[in-house]
Chain A
Amino acid sequence: MNDLIIEAKGLYKTYRGAEKAAVDRIDLTVEKGSFFGLLGPNGAGKTTTLAMLTGLLEPDDGLLKVAGFDIRTSLDEVKRRIGLVPQEISLYPSLTAQENLAYFGMMQGLSGNALNGRIGDCLEFARLTELADKRVETFSGGMKRRLSLAIGIIHEPLILFLDEPTVGIDPASRLFIFENLKAMNANGTTIVYTSHYMEEVQTLCDTAAIMDSGRVIANGRMSALLSRQGKGMIRIRTAPDPTEAVRLDVESLPGAQSAIIKNDLLEIQTQEPEAAIEGVLRLLREKNVKLLSISHGAADLEGLFLSLTGTHLRD
């Protein structure tokens, strides 16, 4: 196991005046060099968690170490090693791209040639070199997102936090951001990426935590998370409704790992979907049970979220 670069235990936050905890005693670990996804529906507590990890918000309770420092006692040490790309595009509209980068670069402590070099790199990174001297207020949404991202990495942080960085941008810009993040991760930057798009997290991240209503409901390596679902899930509806006897028969079929009855649905986890489907169809015919519908979904985080919470990830 690699070094842990973020360790949170029992992290807890209730906003003033709120009835429910926004983040409800969660445990999180992020390995150094990993591409970590924090996934969850709107209001799950992703931004609140990120705010605590980046020192914006003081946890009401819990332990939190970032980059090896306790955030309560060594906040400045933490700050020197992290970069945040906030959920909202946080730029000065009347300053140019170059001026925005220069300002935040200097506020991070850069100056002179180091600063100028980084500004050049970041403009390149955001593909805004040509537009360096144009005011940000004239930029498109995607251009602003790219610049916002570039500002987050101007000081080459050890850990980069991104809060839903692909909201409201075109597919080309989105792809471009993905490529860059992957390259940065390959160069050693630890990335913490929040999103409510499960495909994004699934394709980008090597580890992930799924949040819902302030709690972490699943977390671990992406492969492990996905294999909890096997190769996928087959759902069938029958007339009459599936019985316990049918369920046991289905579970013993070759290719089927497990079967559960949820309301009028029979859900079958499988590693070999083709064999399992054939077996189920044969069995139902033998038992004279009428098949009303059958569906199969490949293993994905959406499926995992659904099986954990019984609701869909998207609103």
Chain B
Amino acid sequence: MHDAGNLTRLYASILKETRLIVRDREALVILFVMPLAFVLIMSLAMQDAFMEKSGVFTVAILDNDNGAVGQGVIAAFSSAGYMKTTVLKDAHDEADVKKEINSGRFKFGVIIPKGATTLAKGRVQRQLNFAKDGSGNGVYVRLISDPAMRVDHSNLVASSLARALAGVENRLLWEAVASLSGMEITPEREKEIREILDGNRPFEEVKAEDATGTRTASPMPTSVQQSVPAWSLFAMFFIVIPLSVTFIKERQLGGLTRLKTMPVPSSVVMAGKAIPYFIINQLQIALMLAVGFFIVPLLGGDALSIGNSPIAVGILTISASFAAIGFGLMTAMFCKTTEQSTTFGGTSIIVFAALGGIMVPKFLMPQFMQSISVISPLSWGLDGFLDVFVRGGGVSDILPEAVGLLSFGLVCLCVAAWRFSLKPR
């Protein structure tokens, strides 16, 4: 008998699987309608929450001065309602402060250099002596920020710091003035004085610096930037349910029994399952991105912006799909009934999602929850997407996440292949 070969068999498997999915209304609702609803609702509903939460900033202050400048800044920051100030006792230098920020404990760090008060007083004195040369630098109080902070929030803290320093400057000035005798001020004199003052400002202008030192624009995600990748990943992983259910039904109804009596390699059967779901995953992400781009802004939300590396987005999507399919095939091989596979598949994905910052964004989680979240593959995927969307990351930035997802998928796939055999037993 002429044998058309395994490509025909693969084609037949893909066609069959596609028909099974397309005719399964529940599966379509789970895979497309549910995540779509989630993205729309969450993007719009969480919009304000995202703003509000980022209104409380944790600030670490490293006071190497121990004088009037440090006290002034600490006092001003402590009295501002939107900041939670902590004076670092054990930190010594800039690296310590950056470490604190990178660990996520603080959003901002303020470094007051050694001898700041002495230097500032000296500069004030020069102002009063009308020193015209205006040379030398003022005190540089540094503001370091989490690269994930939105620019407007960094600016807010920066201007608070500038105000606090202006307050210190005034105090130093008045203290100095108090020791001087009266002086006549004419308009010309005033202009001259202003020039002198400007040339001898005690403090340098405050600028927010990025904790990683390579700051471009790196704000926190907008709610649509969080929701689209989060619920896309959730939906992609939800293929575990239809994938395992169709497979288990095939086993129960005897389709697989027939296949076992035919000259069919098990790799063809597995690939015939994987490929249609891979395509579904790509459709899901395309749909969700489209919703973020076009529908959310129509309904009054922010439009989605996805950074500037579509290739990185593609790599992440493929890796996440691979992980989801591997997980689905493994679930199918180990569950005997469709009830088992829906319960196990559904529960594990929801737990992964909850841990991974899909349901509650990670930056809202306490530190210990954030560290637990690394066990969730969905969390790797989401971190990757946020790297690209929010922090302007490229391919090299998402490689660790992509490799993690691919490895997870590969391990699942190997376990599934080991369990699945069309050979007689």
Question: Interface on A for B, CB 8 Å cutoff?
Answer: 52, 54-58, 75-76, 79-80, 82-84, 86, 88-95, 99, 102-104, 106-112, 114-115, 151, 155-156
Contact = CB atoms under 8 A, between A and B. Distances in A.
A56 B264 CA distance: 13
A151 B258 CA distance: 9
A90 B5 contact: no
Given A90-B257, A114-B2, 20 more contacts: A54-B261, A55-B260, A56-B260, A76-B263, A80-B1, A90-B254, A91-B255, A94-B23, A99-B19, A103-B12, A106-B9, A106-B11, A107-B9, A107-B259, A107-B262, A107-B264, A108-B263, A109-B1, A109-B8, A109-B263
B255 A90 contact: yes
Contacts of B8: 106, 109-111
B16 A103 contact: yes
B298 interface: no
Nearest to B21: A94
Contacts of B263: 76, 79-80, 108-109
Q: State the 10 A-B residue pairs at the shortest beta-carbon distance, nearest first.
A: A90-B254, A106-B12, A111-B4, A109-B3, A58-B424, A84-B261, A79-B263, A94-B23, A103-B16, A88-B254
Contact of B15 (A54, A84, A103, A108): A103
Contacts of B19: 94-95, 99
Contact of B16 (A57, A83, A92): A92
Contacts, number: 96
Interface in B46-91: none
Interface of B: 1-5, 8-9, 11-13, 15-16, 19-20, 23-24, 250, 253-255, 257-264, 423-425
A177 to B, nearest CB: 18
B262 A79 contact: yes
A235 to B, nearest CB: 43
Contacts of A88: 253-254, 257
A112 B15 CA distance: 15
Nearest to B255: A90
B4 A110 contact: yes
Contacts of A76: 263
A94 B425 CA distance: 29
A86 B12 contact: no
A58 B424 CA distance: 5
Nearest to A112: B4
25 contacts: A52-B424, A55-B261, A55-B424, A56-B257, A56-B260, A58-B424, A75-B423, A79-B261, A86-B254, A86-B258, A88-B257, A90-B257, A90-B258, A91-B253, A92-B20, A92-B253, A94-B19, A103-B12, A104-B258, A106-B8, A107-B13, A109-B3, A111-B4, A112-B4, A156-B1
A108 B1 CA distance: 10
Given A82-B261, A102-B12, A90 B4 contact: no
Contacts of B423: 58, 75
Contacts of B253: 88-93
B2 A109 contact: yes
Contacts of A104: 258, 262
A188 to B, nearest CB: 15
A115 B11 CA distance: 14
A104 B263 CA distance: 11
B4 A109 contact: yes
A82 B250 CA distance: 21
For B13, B254, B425, which residue has the most chain A Cβ atoms within 10 angstroms? B254
Given A57-B424, A79-B263, A114-B2, A95 B258 contact: no
A151 B260 CA distance: 14
Contacts of B4: 106, 109-112, 115
Contacts of B257: 56, 84, 86, 88, 90
A112 B7 CA distance: 13
B119 to A, nearest CB: 80
Contacts of A57: 424-425
Contact of A84 (B1, B9, B258): B258
A111 to B, nearest CB: 4
A95 B424 contact: no
Contacts of A103: 12, 15-16
Contacts of B254: 86, 88-91
Contacts of A91: 253-255
A169 to B, nearest CB: 17
A80 B5 CA distance: 12
A89 B260 CA distance: 15
Given A75-B424, A84-B258, A90-B255, A95 B1 contact: no
